[in-house]
Structure 1
Amino acid sequence: MTKYIWLTLAGMLTALFQASAQELYVNSEPASNMAAKSLGIRLENQGYFKPDYRNRTTLEAMLGINKYIMVHGTAYMSDFYQDKQRFEGVSAYAKYRFYSADSVQRHFRMAAFAKASSIRNVQYNQEISLEGDNTGLQGGLVATQLVHKLAVSGSLSYLRAFENRGGYEPVNRNSIAYTLSAGYLLFPKKYTNYEQTNINLYAELLGKSNPGKAQYYVDIAPAIQFIFNSVLRVDLSYRTPLTNRMLRNTQNMYLVRVEYNLFNIFN
């Protein structure tokens, strides 16, 4: 029992240093990975209120294989395309961190990521979204720079949409996605133990463009995040367009997420 307690505490402290709190972006992924041999469970709800209230619930499991590789598996349910909530499909995500330059209170990291989704929904949106809307593939690169309490990250990726299950053809086949995120550790001012509550502030720019078409958008998504005892995370965010020329569901959406992490789940 004592050995298990010490392993758990070590895992929590490892998580603090491997994935700095201000890098745990709400609307995007950093180049850093979650702690090795750890499992994270997320329950998330996103939605919009106009022209009527619609929402999507997401259940996601995340596994840190080692310090280089992590994987996600996600299931989606929403009423975006019909009057009642129903199961939409699943997606899988993997990230490989291939570069890291670390020093005291700063690091620079780069990673490659890929995502695949299988979705059953009517397709009428111009946006390609693998988060419950489109069947498709995504691949890209992400780079993250941490300097003391500030972390800045950017990503660029390509999306390819396919026919949704049920024979629903996509409106568009190709898209380019890009993000620019900044996170700041507001509290604690100084780490003394893993039980301290973390409060992080975020500002993220989220954009997509459909090549060869005048369809694009850039959203801004401010967020606040609370991390309790290094294991329980609560995210609150709202995204709104800075510019928009694309028919999509993601416009003017709130996000509420709860995540719980288990460390040292396997040897």
Structure 2
Amino acid sequence: MKTILLAFCLTAWACTVFGQELYVNTEPASNMAAHSLGIRLENQGYFKPTFKNRTTLEAMYGATGKLMLHGAAYLSDFYAAKQRFEGGSFYGKYRFFSQDTVQAHFRGAVFGKVSFSSNPYTTQEIALEGDNTGWQGGVIFTKLIHKIAFSGSASYLRALDNVGNSLPVMGSRDAIAYTASVGMLVLPKNYTSYNQVNVNLYAEVLGKTNPGYRQSYLDIAPAVQFIFNSVCRVDFSYRTPLYNNMQRNSVNMYLVRLEYNFFNL
């Protein structure tokens, strides 16, 4: 019993200390603890020209200290007059490099994602969060220095025809995505217990380009995050374009997310 309690406390401590890596719009190179399960309920949407939103239910599992797996289901009215189930995705991330020192580390990971969607049509953006059927592969690097964490990623996406629809992908089937993120732990000033409320602030830059089509965008997405008892987190974010010449759903989009983690399964 003492061993289990110690393991839980250490896991919670790690979650708190490295909380500034729990980015809202991107993934870090670090993984969740081995044999832990996370459940996310997320809603994203926009208000113009009419209100549209997507709800995502996602499960995350730390298979080992280096391997993390996700599965997600999507429900939205982005492509229909009312809410409908539109598809799902599977995501895997493997941490291949880790250099740790006191209150600092540098990590690298590779990731892959496959998705399926039954939407009757798509936008110019290739997006695997319910919009498109396709796959993605990329690399992430994350650097933590005390209370600030920096992260960047680059990936390639390939769109396939959506499931059950005869209408093929119109336009680009290929895209390059890139992100840059910074997160900072602002509260508590001094850590004394894993049940302290943690507050993290983030600034994330999200970009995507369709090679050969002169279609691209670059968004800025500030976010705030609250972590309760080191197991429950609440995220709020709003992304808006710095540059955009691509038809897409993700312009001026809010995000609200609730996540709960179960450790030492």
Q: Does the CA-based 8 Å contact 1:40-1:259 persist in structure 2?
A: yes
Residue 73 (structure 2) aligned to one of 71, 75, 80: 75
Distance 1:230 1:9, change over 3 A: farther
CA drift at 1:14? 1.7
Q: Does the CA-based 8 Å contact 2:12-2:231 persist in structure 1?
A: no
Which residue of structure 2 aligns with residue 64 of structure 1?
62
Q: Does the CA-based 8 Å contact 1:239-1:252 persist in structure 2?
A: yes
CA drift at 1:75? 0.2
Aligned length in residues: 262
Which residue of structure 1 aligns with residue 215 of structure 2?
215
Deviation string for 1:210-245 (max 9, x for gaps)?
011110000000000000000010000000000001
Which residue of structure 2 aligns with residue 255 of structure 1?
255
CA drift at 1:41? 0.1
Deviation string for 1:92-125 (max 9, x for gaps)?
0000000000000110000000000011002230
Q: Distance in 1 between matches of 2:139 and 2:226?
A: 27
Distance 1:49 1:12, change over 3 A: farther
Which residue of structure 2 aligns with residue 21 of structure 1?
19
CA drift at 1:7? 2.1
Q: Does the CA-based 8 Å contact 2:38-2:61 persist in structure 1?
A: yes
Q: Distance in 2 between matches of 1:263 and 1:45?
A: 25
Q: Which amino acid aligns with 1:203?
A: A
CA drift at 1:192? 1.3
Q: Distance in 1 between matches of 2:110 and 2:156?
A: 12
Identity %: 64
Residue 11 (structure 1) aligned to one of 8, 12, 33: 8
Which residue of structure 2 aligns with residue 150 of structure 1?
148
Aligned residue for 2:123, secondary structure, equals coil
Distance 1:257 1:155, change over 3 A: same
Q: Distance in 2 between matches of 1:163 and 1:8?
A: 49
Q: Distance in 2 between matches of 1:113 and 1:190?
A: 34
TM-score, structure 1 length as denominator? Answer: 0.95
Q: State whether structure 2 residue 26 is matched by structure 1 residue 31.
A: no
Q: Does the CA-based 8 Å contact 1:236-1:256 persist in structure 2?
A: yes
CA drift at 1:43? 0.1
Q: State whether structure 2 residue 128 is matched by structure 1 residue 126.
A: no
Distance 1:260 1:6, change over 3 A: farther
Aligned residue for 1:16, secondary structure, equals helix
Q: Does the CA-based 8 Å contact 2:106-2:141 persist in structure 1?
A: yes
Identify unmatched segments of 5+ residues in structure 2. none
Q: Does the CA-based 8 Å contact 1:71-1:95 persist in structure 2?
A: yes
CA drift at 1:9? 5.7
Superposed, 1:238-253 pairs within 5 Å as: 238-253=238-253
CA drift at 1:16? 3.5
Q: Does the CA-based 8 Å contact 2:44-2:53 persist in structure 1?
A: yes
Q: Does the CA-based 8 Å contact 2:151-2:181 persist in structure 1?
A: yes
Deviation string for 1:36-94 (max 9, x for gaps)?
11000000000000000000000000000111000000000000001110001110000
CA drift at 1:10? 2.3
CA drift at 1:8? 5.3
Aligned residue for 1:74, secondary structure, equals strand
CA drift at 1:190? 1.9
Deviation string for 1:156-195 (max 9, x for gaps)?
0000000001223222200000000000000111221110
TM-score, structure 2 length as denominator? Answer: 0.96
Superposed, 1:61-140 pairs within 5 Å as: 61-140=59-138
Q: Which amino acid aligns with 1:159?
A: L
Q: Distance in 1 between matches of 2:51 and 2:5?
A: 41
Q: State whether structure 2 residue 48 is matched by structure 1 residue 50.
A: yes
Superposed, 1:159-170 pairs within 5 Å as: 159-167=157-165, 168-170=167-169
Q: Distance in 1 between matches of 2:229 and 2:257?
A: 17
Q: Distance in 2 between matches of 1:208 and 1:71?
A: 24
